Amino acid sequence: MPDQLPNSQTPAPAGAAALSSGSSAKPLQFQQLQSCANTSARLGRVTTPHGSFDTPAFMPVGTQGTVKGILPDQLRAAGAQILLANTYHLMLRPGSAVIAQLGDLHRVMAWEGPILTDSGGFQVFSLADLNRITDSGVIFKSHIDGSMVTLDAAKSMAVQNELGADIIMAFDQCPSADAPPEMHRTAVDRTIRWAEECLQSHQRPREQALFGIVQGGTDAQLRAECAAKLVAMDFDGYAMGGLAVGEGFDAMQRVLAEGVGHLPSDKPRYLMGVGYPRDIAMAVASGIDMFDCVLPTRNGRNGHAFTAGGPVRLRNSVHQRETGPIEAGCDCYACRNYSRGALRHFFFAGEMLGPILVSVHNIRFYQRLMADIRRVIGDGQFETFLREDPRCRLGGGVPMAGEETIAAADTVDD
């Protein structure tokens, strides 16, 4: 039933063997294979104990240990090589100890490849009903049963150690873009302090790579300070956090142009929670290697499909008798087997198949984009691609192809 894998993916045993045979005791290896002559874009490969993935890479989001409605075989067929799961949600339900008893997150997700878990910090600060934030951590009210829960750097590490992902994230504070400067200053101070505590608390440093997260809002000096202190701690990789939180495309571009250069070139760089194809293409040009976002699956469940010509809203009546696929030339299972008219019917009939198929298409759309980006970097054609490929202009707030704008969303329930 699933498509054949359209781009390279190293099986888990081969990736694990490559890692264990190396001289480094680190749980992650990053190899830069090629770079763009006139941008900071780079082609690479990350090897973990559960296999390798090619970069630039996009990680589908499986918040609660599953990418909603999508089988692992379908994810692999779409080209996904690494998945993301959410520490906050899994800590609350079913609990990291239960995940560990079930055989760790790879077993629960039936995913043999690499997995990344976030620290839980973003969800705590942006989504939970907060009680108190201090320099030590945060006490918040569970959205499940209303109980009070404490989360700090040590707890985040303990939970992620039990979950068993290949890449785990340091606990950080992520303010909104419009937060006052003093809040960003406080968030950076806490993020640095908690990063040190995460390193001290990390109990599986030879099995799980730990990434530090750079905060600082749109303040270039604050970002540089945060990056310098985190780089001095020698994390296995680094993330740019606190973006795609309302600052806008131009501000994000400026922050990346100014800030990515502060991160070491021999380690992977991850832009958290991004995003639209235009955001990804711009960030790749800035030197970013890894991305995640709920857009493909969340919008798929709501009948919004990504295409190179712009978003397609399948609930619109214009598609009722449309016999063509979501996107001509797309090789995903949905486009090879179903018409727009059939998909529209599934949505109005309340059938699960509609949201599943459009999510499969959207994931494949993103993975085709990443595969094409990797190809053109390797061919020395990335600048031309960035200038000419219409996908590099697909972004939030820009109506395209006569359709309504696809709205970005947070990661509350994906």
Summarised one tens digit per residue, pLDDT across range 194-204 is: 999 999 999 99
Q: Which residue has the higher pLDDT, 21 or 161?
A: 161
pLDDT at 125: 66
Mean pLDDT over 355-374 rounds to: 98
pLDDT at 65: 97
pLDDT at 141: 86
Using alpha carbons, select from 298, 292, 179, 161 the residue that is nearest to residue 239.
Answer: 292
Mean pLDDT rounded to a whole number for the chain: 90
Q: Which residues contact 169 (CB under 8 A, 6 or more apart)?
A: 87, 116, 117, 118, 119, 121, 160, 210, 211, 213, 239
Cα 200 → chain centroid: 26
For residue 68, give the amino acid letter: K
pLDDT at 105: 98
Q: Which residue has the higher pLDDT, 140 or 311?
A: 311
User: With bands split at pLDDT 50, 70 and 90, how would you rate the model's confidence at 404?
Assistant: very low
* pTM of the predicted structure, to 2 decimals: 0.92
Known catalytic residues? 118, 292
Q: Which residue has the higher pLDDT, 216 or 143?
A: 216
Instruction: Report yes or no: 363 and 60 within 8 Å, Cβ to Cβ.
Output: yes
% of the chain exceeding 70 in pLDDT: 88
Mean pLDDT over 237-266 rounds to: 96
Check whether 326 has a pLDDT greater than 70.
yes
Please state, in angstroms and rounded to a whole number, the distance separating the CA atoms of residues 240 and 351. Answer: 39
